[in-house]
Amino acid sequence: MELIEFISYGLTDIGLVGILVYTLVVTHVTIIAVTVFLHRCQAHRSLKLKPIVSHFFRFWLWLTTGMVTKEWAAIHRKHHAKCETEDDPHSPQVKGISTVLWKGTELYRETSADRSCINKYGHGTPDDWLERHVYTKRSAWGVTFMLFINFFLFGIIGVAVWAVQMMWIPFFAAGVINGIAHFVGYRNFKTPDSSRNIFPIGILIGGEELHNNHHSHATSPKLSSRWFEFDIGWLYIKLFEFFGLAQIRSMPKNPIYDPEKNIIDEDTVEAILAAKYELFQKLHKLVNKVSHRYRRDKRRLAVSSKSGQNEASSSQLQLILSLRDDFEKIWNHQRTASVEQIIVALRDWCKEAEMSDVRGLQEYSRSLHMLTLQS
């Protein structure tokens, strides 16, 4: 009878509500370990954690996921380097949303088996005795140990709890973030990829819901950017910092408009790089506004047969489309151009914008002259 009771209830008898609370707590700790340790600390080096915190997260991930730090960081870095190309480990645009959502774990394993990829992108991750001989070499031991822990605590129901733990990261991180967050949601920044913010309140997946924000400022430890957005991962980081357990390495500087500044210089370039996707978005809104006005005028002028005005409106539209493309080309080639070359190209672009008859472009150009970084 005692054996049957043990198999049914384990060493505890806390009821279904207690087991549900336990499941939510342990899966939440795993999510925080992924977003704070693996993602922000290891993959992007945006903060430094004290050894006691890092060791806890490494042990916890070994226990609850079996994931290897070097492999996770390498795969994520490759995703940023090759985003939405054939070489992206998990792009829904290339592999299909269904594949990434439901087979994210298989895509992860496929890339982790490519040792040249792991060695190329996995630099700087832990490489001590524990990492080499336990967390990497014996990655299956941790999740097996977790199975026994849950079984001893809750009996046969503990096996179901363990199954939920094993599916939590593969579904939410490998599936939802890598799939849905590049497919559906809203965008604060016009990044060159299709990244989306799934939901403004980032609690369930530790703040990773704010994926478009992350792709805009990849090295920032804070994923929220607007007043109504909440990143619980950032809350934990600030708590760690308060208790001296974390050191924030990188925070994007805020671009500001200085009315007394009226020159395109190195400060302008740095400020634009810090907010280029937001500036791209403003320029695209301006283009959309002119395009909408052109279509409206075209219909109206077609009725009145004023072809001359119609041609002028069309010419204005072509000009603004050309300037939009030229502005983005400057920053698409930033890695191969010197700062001096970028400054010259930007000054030439501003001259063209200010010589146009488009008021919005002229104001946009003047705002660039005032742009600088907050000291």
pLDDT 10s digits, 115-160: 999 998 898 999 999 999 999 999 899 999 999 999 988 888 989 9
* Cα distance between residue 3 and residue 279, in whole Å: 67
State the Cα–Cα distance between residues 345 and 356, nearest whole angstrom: 17
DSSP string, 49-113: E-HHHHHHHHHHHHHHT---HHHHHHHHHHHHHTTTSTT-TT-HHHH-HHHHHHSHHHHHHHHHT
- For the stretch 60-69, pLDDT in tens is 999 999 999 9
How do residues 170-191 score in pLDDT, each as one tens digit? Answer: 888 888 888 899 989 999 887 8
Q: 6: buried, middle or exposed (CB in 10 Å: 19+, 13-18, 0-12)?
A: middle
| Long-range contacts, stretch 244-248, CB < 8 angstroms, 24+ apart | 244/50, 245/49, 245/50, 245/52, 245/53, 246/47, 246/48, 246/49, 246/50, 246/53, 247/47, 247/48, 248/46, 248/47, 248/221
Asked if 374 and 257 count as a contact pair (C-beta separation under 8 A), the reply is: no
Helix axes 15-32, 139-154, angle to 10 degrees: 160
Q: What is the dihedral of CA 42, 47, 52, 55, to 10 degrees?
A: -10
Structure tokens at 200: 């403004």
Q: Give the closest residue to 76 by CA, choosing from 26, 124, 29.
A: 124
Q: What is the pLDDT of residue 1?
A: 43
The crossing angle, in degrees rounded to 10, of helices 266-274 and 359-369 is 110
pLDDT, mean of residues 9-32: 89
Contact 56, 65 (CB under 8 A): no
Q: How far apart are CA 324 and CA 110, in angstroms?
A: 39
Q: What's this model's pTM, rounded to 2 decimal places?
A: 0.76
Is the pLDDT reported for residue 95 higher than 60?
yes
CB–CB of 205/31 below 8 Å? Answer: yes
What backbone torsions phi and psi does residue 230 show, to the nearest 5 degrees? -130, 125
CA–CA dist 201, 207 (Å, integer): 7
Q: Where are the domains of the chain?
A: 2-248, 257-373
Q: Which ranges of 131-275 does DSSP label H, i.e. alpha helix?
A: 139-154, 156-169, 178-179, 211-216, 232-242, 266-274
Question: How many Å apart are CA 185 and CA 193, to the nearest integer?
Answer: 13
pLDDT at 303 > cutoff 60: no
The per-residue pLDDT for range 326-341, each reduced to its tens digit, is 888 887 766 677 888 8
Indicate the average pLDDT of the chain: 86
SS3 for 289? helix
pLDDT at 321 over 90: no
Q: Report the first-to-last Cα separation within the chain, whole angstroms.
A: 72
Q: Assess contact for 182 and 190: CB atoms under 8 A.
A: no
Q: Provide the pLDDT for residue 298.
A: 64
Task: Give the 3-state secondary structure of residue 246.
Answer: strand
